[in-house]
Structure 1
């Protein structure tokens, strides 16, 4: 059965919301005010609100540190498309689950995401981090996901991130890769070093890496609109770092 055109457009729009070190779609667009909405007595959602708007509101809630509120908004967006076609694109909800300590739900979301985006290393490493928090005695997890054979993430720094979380590289190697790359690579190396150490229970090292990440030139300037730099700031805020 063909999906309605608005769902196809929604999924395309959500796919570009995810900023990387080489593309910052939000930074190039002027901020827009949300339209005035009217509550309908026959619907649990404000009249005229779209799933994309709910996802956007969820992302804003997360950026402001309201993790539980963001999950509710992502859930509402998901429920508005009953056929489940939005679910694999709600990677933001996976991050919120992680910070809500709902690691099993986080892992489930990331594994669903990978089915439609098998080359995205970040989905895989966040799943590894979530599963590691569930079972600290099994690091890296025996049931960890892998990239399809012969495939790599388009971002070079992510190759080293991927290897680190799979137990095939060292912290020093990722730190060196970040130092040798561009300003986005520096941020992502420090950010994922922080997440890696936290997943292994090394809190002091995690705090050191994550605090460095939020102070990088990328996080404070060109990449400030990148959702992952917001994630780093929320990480520090929630941990009191």
Structure 2
């Protein structure tokens, strides 16, 4: 996980694989983090498999379903990913996330929605909620192939005070996203 935070995505997958080789229980323990690394290496099929494993282990956290959608959108397109997303939700009974922002993010990915409205809803909320709304608005645009809109929102997430000061893994992910896409954090 430290290698990922430092931007060494390939190294992080190698270390996750070593950990799993040493102890197969690590596959379930670290599947979200490994899946995120796989996403940034464009290994979408493996990433989707990791996220599905994590949803089976942890059905009350919606992020794994969203990241599975993001991987499958790259593989099959948004509509087919949404069809698969609905199947995953029904088969794995994803629970209700305790975070209001993530409940709305989940709904946007599952049913479609307006990323700008999501960000607007949380623009005056707790800083972490604005960060997550911006990050996932950007990821939603990326799934739709709207690169400039994706960049706008993800850079905004990085520039938020939460994105700049938080030790949250997802704050690191937003920065790694920008590094992988060769986006400057000083431009909106």
Common fold: TM-score over 0.5: yes
The answer as to whether partners of 1:190 and 1:210 remain within 8 angstroms in 2 is: yes
Other-structure match for 1:201? 145
Q: Which SS does the other structure have where 1:166 is aligned?
A: helix
CA offset at residue 85 of structure 1? 2.2
Q: Does 1:163 align with 2:110?
A: no
Question: CA RMSD, aligned part only?
Answer: 1.7
Q: Which SS does the other structure have where 2:83 is aligned?
A: coil
Match of 1:173 among 80, 105, 117: 117
- Tell me the distance in 2 between the aligned counterparts of 1:191 and 1:163: 15
The within-5 A match list for 1:38-187 is 59-81=1-23, 84-90=24-30, 91-136=32-77, 138=79, 140-144=81-85, 145-146=88-89, 151-187=95-131
Provide Cα deviations, 1:139-183, integer angstroms capped at 9, x if missing partner.
543111227669310111101100111124321331123214210
The answer as to whether partners of 2:55 and 2:94 remain within 8 angstroms in 1 is: no
1:171/1:157 Cα in 2 relative to 1: closer, same or farther (>3 Å)? same
- Tell me the distance in 2 between the aligned counterparts of 1:129 and 1:93: 15
Q: Which runs of 5+ in 2 are unaligned?
A: 184-188
Which structure features the higher share of helix residues?
2
Provide Cα deviations, 1:2-43, integer angstroms capped at 9, x if missing partner.
xxxxxxxxxxxxxxxxxxxxxxxxxxxxxxxxxxxxxxxxxx
Other-structure match for 1:13? none
- Tell me the distance in 2 between the aligned counterparts of 1:80 and 1:183: 39
Q: Which runs of 5+ in 1 are unaligned?
A: 1-58
Other-structure match for 2:186? none
User: What is the total number of aligned residue pairs between the two structures?
Assistant: 179
- Tell me the distance in 2 between the aligned counterparts of 1:150 and 1:95: 19
Q: Structure 1 runs of 4+ off > 6 angstroms?
A: none
CA offset at residue 89 of structure 1? 1.9
